[in-house]
Homo-oligomer: A and B are copies of this chain.
Amino acid sequence: MLFSAVQLRTVFPMLFDFDSAIAVRPLGDGVYDTAIRNGWDIMGNANGGYLLALVAEAMKAESGRRDPITITAHYLSPGLVGDATTTVKVVKQGRRFATVQAALQRDGKDVMRVIGTFGDVDTDALHPRVSLTQPEMPAYDNCPRRDSGDGAPAIMDKVPVRLHPDDVGFAIGKPSGRGIMRGWVQFADERPHDTVSLLLASDALPPPIFNIDGETGWVPTVELTVHVFARPSPGPLLCSFSSHIVQAGMLEEDGTMWDSRGVCVATSRQIALQPRV
């Protein structure tokens, strides 16, 4: 009897790269081993969405809840690959929600401080009153794959995003002039998305400012907040990010994430610094 890689990994989830990369181990007293794994970085610094997912796993474990509902991270120093611990404190364990704080530290130095409210998101994902509309997007197979060749970030091997053909101009010096970046986000090993991988997705695309006037480089996130509304159905996520305000060296970035049913499963917003070359 033969099994596909996806079938096998459904039974043995740690076979998926992302699950190995966000695995956490309790050390007691709310402290977790949250080593920062290799391959989820951009120029040596772990991706902010990956770090948020890693810390959220420890927060989930400590709170005993299934899903992040709203989670905010402040980024204090780069997350280099290697040993790291997260100290988690459940501030309030309520009936419906748990409020949780966490600090990710590496070599005794703060990498992130995080606060989140955890609980159960709606399983049925019904959206009786949603006035957002799904972004226009060509089918997955019709979007160019962006991979880690040509100086693209290492994380692109793990999550080879497929950008909207109208939004790829920045990569060849022809930015669209609009602060928009749309793409399909799917793991290379086709791990199904869940409410934790939405945190990764919230920071997985190139920043939309790359398309405003062609500025590129490292865009350090100051703060990232993600709101989770539903568990995603299987398949690639449609993600759309926009920057509306760029001033005084800072920018904001707004995101929406849609599953294969067309449900808006999460939104995100971040404050970042303008690109540093």
Q: Which residues of A contact B (CB under 8 A)?
A: 69-70, 72, 74, 76, 91-92, 94, 97, 99, 101, 103, 110, 113, 115-117, 121-122, 126-132, 179, 212, 222-223, 225, 227, 229-230, 242-248, 250, 252, 264, 267, 269, 271
One complex includes copies of this chain to the number of: 2
18 A-B pairs besides A91-B103, A121-B248, A225-B269 with CB distance below 8 A are: A69-B250, A70-B271, A72-B72, A74-B115, A74-B116, A74-B117, A99-B113, A101-B113, A126-B248, A127-B247, A128-B247, A130-B244, A130-B246, A131-B243, A132-B244, A227-B252, A245-B267, A252-B267
Bound Cα distance A94, B222 (Å): 12
Give the one of A129, A132, A243, A252 with max B CB within 10 A: A129
Does B223 contact A117, Cβ atoms closer than 8 Å?
Answer: yes
Tell me how far the C-beta of A181 lies from the nearest C-beta in chain B, rounded to whole angstroms.
Answer: 14
Are A69 and B113 also in contact (CB < 8 A) when A92-B76, A99-B76, A269-B269 are?
A: no
A238 to chain B, nearest CB (A): 16
The DSSP consensus for interface residues of chain A is: strand
Give the shortest distance, in Å, between A166 (CB) and chain B (any CB).
16
List 9 A-B pairs, minimum CB-CB distance, nearest first.
A122-B248, A129-B246, A72-B72, A70-B223, A70-B271, A132-B244, A76-B92, A131-B244, A74-B99
Task: Name 18 A/B residue pairs within 8 A (Cβ), A-sorted.
Answer: A70-B74, A72-B72, A74-B91, A74-B99, A76-B91, A76-B94, A76-B99, A91-B113, A99-B113, A122-B247, A126-B248, A129-B245, A129-B247, A131-B245, A227-B252, A227-B271, A229-B247, A229-B248
CB distance from A115 to the nearest CB of B (A): 5
Q: Name the residue among A70, A94, A97, A264 with the largest chain B CB count within 10 angstroms.
A: A70
Q: In the assembled complex, how far is the CB of residue A254 from the closest CB belonging to chain B, in whole angstroms? A: 9
**How far is B271's CA from A250's CA once the two chains are assembled, in angstroms?**
24
| Residue numbers in B under 8 Å from A94 (CB-CB) | 76
B117 pairs with A115, CB closer than 8 A: no
Check B113–A72 contact: CB distance below 8 A: no
Neighbour of A222 across the interface among B70, B129, B223, B264, CB < 8 A: B70
Select from chain B the residue with minimum beta-carbon distance to A267. B252
Q: How far is the CB of A4 from chain B (nearest CB, A)?
A: 33
The closest CB in chain B to the CB of A271 belongs to: B70
Taking CB atoms, residues of chain B closer than 8 Å to A242 are: 131
* Docked CA distance A74–B99 (Å): 8
Do A247 and B126 form a contact, CB below 8 Å, given A99-B76, A227-B252? yes
With A76-B91, A227-B271 given, is the CB distance from A97 to B244 under 8 Å?
no
For A252, list chain B residues within 8 Å (CB). 227, 267
